[in-house]
Copies of this chain bind each other. A is one copy, B any other.
Amino acid sequence: MTIDEIKRKLESVLSPKRFEHSLGVMDTAINLAEKYGGNVEKAALAGILHDCAREIKGQAVFELCKKYHINVDYITLAQPELLHGPVGAVIAAEEYGIEDEDVLKAIECHTTGRENMTLLDKIIFIADYIEPGRKFPGVEEVRELAYRDLNRSILLSLDNTIRYVMNKGAFIHPDTILARNFIIKESRS
């Protein structure tokens, strides 16, 4: 599929708001890839498609996980919205014809983060956080930082997210901690 075909299909399955968000993440990811010497085409594909499974709800999510052997643990059982990354990677491959493993991996980990994030993973992760449609306390600082120091912006966004999740009394996904530790380790070396 061309990127225009992908956009048309996405527009037909996502709410207008989510489609706008996806366009914002794509544009932001392209900007960041240009800034940091990443692959612009992969950034665009992962950016536009990152939420392709975000509006699959309820039992359908668990059925897709079963079908595609995606692990559901006590955390994702309690917070199934965390599954839209892994499920999105499968949908991107199956329904949008994406074969590039880098793109699929970036979609897979865009919500929780993970250890050993690639430049593309980082770009999609932070683009999702700072795209122009995002408006919440603290976003401006992360947005500004993303164009100066990618790792520091990710660390700040992870810390914000961990605080938010703690304040809700919800589970913290271990991958988010591994992502945070990895970014600190990388920044120190």
Binding site for B on A (CB under 8 A): 74-75, 78, 155, 159, 162-163, 166, 169-172, 174, 177-178, 180-181, 184-185, 188
Contacts and interface: CB of A to CB of B under 8 A. Distances in A.
What's the dominant secondary structure at chain A's contact region? helix
Nearest to A187: B169
Nearest to A184: B171
Contacts of A172: 177, 180-181
Q: How many copies does the complex hold?
A: 2
A166 B171 contact: no
A166 B163 contact: yes
Nearest to A171: B181
A92 to B, nearest CB: 29
Given A75-B181, A178-B174, A162 B166 contact: yes
A90 to B, nearest CB: 25
15 contacts: A74-B181, A74-B185, A78-B188, A155-B169, A162-B162, A162-B166, A163-B163, A169-B184, A170-B184, A171-B184, A172-B177, A172-B181, A174-B174, A174-B178, A177-B177
A66 to B, nearest CB: 22
A142 to B, nearest CB: 15
A163 B167 CA distance: 11
Contacts of A162: 162, 166
Contacts of A177: 172, 174, 177
